[in-house]
Amino acid sequence: MSTVSSELPSDPISVVGVVTALNKAPDDYYIVAQTTDGSDADLWKDGLFKSKVTRYLCFTRKPGPDVVVDMKLIDIKDVLPEGFTPVEETLDTKESAMRKRRLCVKMCPRATAQTAVFDIQITAKSKYQLVNYTCVGEINNMGVWYRMGDVPRQQLSQETSSATNSHAPLNIARRTTTSRPDYEHQNSGNYTMTALDDVPFVISEKFCEKPKEMQQVNLMGITIKSLAEIEEEVSRGCNARLPLTPLAQNAKQTVLGL
């Protein structure tokens, strides 16, 4: 049973749950079996009829990726508060955790949490106040209280450093396999040798050969000449006056109206 103490526990609560019996809590879980005055802290009991069904609140401070940063107790028909997760099933039998009320918790990554829930207590009467505790609400004439505290900075720095070191090799390997060596060299100053280093690149000799002279092709009366033949005819035309071709002669007669 978690007792009321003026000292804040060393670790925040990481999981809040409900169990059907006092002997069915998972390992490393604390069960709120009694109220602060020693009464039974059964969350399911009926004031008029005795029932064999019992429900007890439990929690653990076992280190994990998340911590509990807030708690709310609402009616079963109320809309779930934004960012909160309901405790709907028991940890041991997966049955309904509560009858008329629903306990909701808000989780936050441990590495970014500034404050968190460190302790939970149940009082027999709602008028009874707990120092340094906040009342979540009432269930079966019992008040559910929680105590907030600052998440230790040393713990956060150790987890952040551990997460950074665990991810650093993965990031380096990923950058090495997906980035170009010259890009790495320009940006990080470290050149990564690859299997293509020192391999000479030479243009194939077949691309260095001079193309063969284009042979004359007669296509539908049109003769395709090579560049050398065209240059030769132009050179001869500049030195001597060549007779007009039939096509040029017809064009000249058309222009002059002959």
- Tell whether 183 is covered by a domain: no
Question: How confident is the prediction along the chain (258 residues), in pLDDT tens digits per residue?
Answer: 344 666 888 899 999 999 999 999 999 999 999 999 899 999 987 655 566 889 999 999 999 999 999 999 999 899 999 999 999 999 999 999 998 899 999 999 999 999 999 999 999 875 678 989 999 999 988 999 999 999 987 654 555 555 555 544 444 334 433 444 443 444 444 455 666 666 666 676 666 655 555 555 555 566 666 777 777 777 776 665 556 566 555 655 554 555
The answer to whether 184 and 175 are in contact (CB under 8 A) is yes
Q: For residue 72, tell me if it sits in a domain.
A: yes
Three-state secondary structure string covering 89-135: ECCCCCCECCCCEEEEEEEEECCCCCEEEEEEEEECCCCCCCCCCEE
With respect to residue 238, please indicate whether it lies within any of the assigned structural domains: no
Residue 104: how many CB atoms within 10 A of its CB? 20
Output the pLDDT for position 85. Answer: 96
Q: Are 78 and 28 in contact (CB under 8 A)?
A: no
- Token representation of residue 52: 């064999």
In a domain, 77, yes or no: yes
Total domain count, the chain: 1
Whether the model pTM is above 0.75: no
pLDDT at 67: 97
Element (H, E) at 17: strand 15-19
Look at residue 193 in the predicted model and tell me its pLDDT.
60
Q: What is the pLDDT of residue 52?
A: 83
Query: Could you give the residue ranges of the DSSP H alpha helices within 9-121?
Result: none
On whether the CB atoms of residues 120 and 137 are closer than 8 A, the answer is no
The pLDDT score that the predictor gives to residue 233 is: 76
| 218 is a domain residue | no
Residue 210 lies in a domain: no
pLDDT of residue 236: 74
pLDDT in the model for residue 234: 72
The answer to whether position 70 is within a domain reads yes
- Cα–Cα distances in Å, from 206 out to 209, 211, 226? 6, 10, 22
- Look at residue 5 in the predicted model and tell me its pLDDT: 63
pLDDT value of position 140: 84
Residue 105 is predicted with a pLDDT of 98
| Domain of 99, in residue numbers | 15-156
The answer to whether residue 7 is domain-embedded is no
For residue 43, give the CATH number of its domain.
2.100.10.50
pLDDT at 244: 56
